[in-house]
Amino acid sequence: MYSLAFGIGTRNSQDEWLEVFFPRPIFRPSSELVSQIAGAINYEGGNRDIELDGDKIQKLIDSIGEPEQKAILSAMKGSVKPCVATLIESDTELSSTPETYLKLHLLSYRYVRPNEQNLHDLYAILPNVAWTDIGAVDLRELDHLQLEARIQGRVLEVAGIDKFPKMTNYVVPTGVRIAHSARVRLGAYLGEGTTVMHEGLVNFNAGTVGPNMIEGRVSQGVLLDAGSDLGGSGSTMGTLSGGGKLVISIGKDCLIGANAGCGISLGDRCTIEAGLYITAGTVVQVLDENKNPVKTAKARELSGHSDMLFIRNSQTGVVECRTNHHAISLNESLHAHN
C-alpha cells in the first residue's frame, strides 16, 4: 500500500469533490492496518475513495489499533462536511480529486520529495475553485453565495481562484518561516530551516531540502538543496507553461542573485550574479583558474557541474563561467525556526 488517509472535504451541489483536508496521512501503512481498514469499510484493493458515514466511521474506530487515526476518526464523527477514506495502493496516474489532494499532502508533510510520485494529468483532475472565507466554492455557485452574503449584510471574501489552495490551510511543516502564506501552494515541500520571504513563491511539487532562504520563485519540479539562497525576484525555470521537459535542481550552498534566473541544473557551490538569467541556450565563455578563455559552450553543456560562477563581463557583455571561490554560507540564526 502506497498511502492512505481519512479526510474531510467539500463537495459542490452536484456531489463533486472540490477539495479534501487529510490530517496526518499515513505513508507506506502496515499490512495489518490496511487489513483492519479493509474489513471495516469493504475495501477490496486498488486506488479508491470511499465516502464515510457515521456507521463506517464507528466501524473504523472499533477495528483499527492505531491511536492517532482512532482520535482523528472520533473527531470526524461530528463533522457537518462529507468525510472520505482515500487508499492509494500503487503510485499510478491520478484518478480523483481526493487522491490528488492526498498526494499533495504527502509532499507538504515531507513523506516524498518533488518528482518522486506520479502527478500526471493533475491539472485535468483538479477543479478550478473559488477560495473564500467560508471555504472552497464551485465557481458556478459563487454568484448565488455572493448575493446571499450581501442580503445578510456581509461580503463573501474571495481570496483567489485557482486549482490549488495555500499550503498552510492544510499542512504547516515544522521548522519553517513563511512571511506570506498565500505564496506557498499545497504540494510544496519545505525542509527544516526554510525561510520564505514576502515575495518568495513555492509551487506544488517543488521546494527546498532546508535550510534555505527563498526570496524568489521556486517553480514546479525544482528542488533546492541545503544552504542555497534564491535572491529577491530570482527565478528557477520549471516545466510548466513552455518551460520544457528538463527538470531543474539546485545543489548545496548555491546563490541565485536578486533578479537572476536559472534554467539549468546547478551542482554545489554555484553562483549566478544578480540580474543574470542563465537559460539552457545561453552562450557562455568558460574560463580557467587564471581567467583565460578555454571554450565557448551552451549553458546546457555545463548543467549539473559544481563550483561555477556565472557573471556578465561589464566591458564585453559576454556571459562568463569562472571557478567559484566564494561559496555562500547562510546565517544559521535566521534559519533556526524552533
The domains found in the chain, sorted by start residue, are 3-125 (3.30.70.2010), 130-162 (3.30.60.70), 167-335 (2.160.10.10)
Q: Which three cell numbers stand for residue 110?
A: 515531507
215 is catalytic: yes
* Residue 83, burial from CB neighbour count under 10 angstroms (0-12, 13-18, 19+): buried
pLDDT the model gives residue 246: 76
Q: Which three cell numbers stand for residue 75?
A: 473527531
Residue the block writes with cell 489499533: 65
Q: Are strands 3-11 and 26-27 parallel, antiparallel or unpaired?
A: antiparallel
Contacts of 67 (CB under 8 A, 6+ apart): none
Question: What element of type H or E holds 133?
Answer: none
CA-CA distance, 338 to 320, in Å (whole number)? 41
Task: Give me the catalytic one of 93, 215, 301, 332.
Answer: 215
pLDDT the model gives residue 41: 97
Q: What is the torsional sign of CA 23, 102, 99, 130?
A: positive
pLDDT the model gives residue 330: 63
pLDDT the model gives residue 336: 72
Q: What is the torsional sign of CA 70, 176, 270, 314?
A: positive
CA-CA distance, 86 to 142, in Å (whole number)? 28
pLDDT the model gives residue 327: 65
Q: Which three cell numbers stand for residue 55?
A: 456507521
Q: Residue 152: phi, psi to the nearest 5?
A: -85, 5
Count of positions (residues) in the chain: 338
Question: Buried b vs exposed e over 67-80: b needs ≥16 C-beta within 10 Å?
Answer: eebeebbeebeeee
pLDDT the model gives residue 289: 87
Q: Kindly report the pTM of this predicted structure.
A: 0.94
Question: What residue type is 99 in one-letter code?
Answer: E
Each of the 338 residues of the chain gets a pLDDT tens digit; together they read 999 999 999 999 999 999 999 999 999 999 999 999 999 999 999 999 999 999 999 999 999 999 999 999 999 999 999 999 999 999 999 999 999 999 999 999 999 999 999 999 999 999 999 999 999 999 999 999 999 999 999 999 999 999 999 999 999 999 999 999 999 999 999 999 999 999 999 999 999 999 999 999 999 999 999 999 999 999 999 866 545 567 899 999 999 999 999 999 999 999 999 999 999 999 999 999 888 999 999 999 999 999 999 999 999 999 999 998 876 666 564 567 76
Cβ neighbours around 125 below 10 Å, total: 18
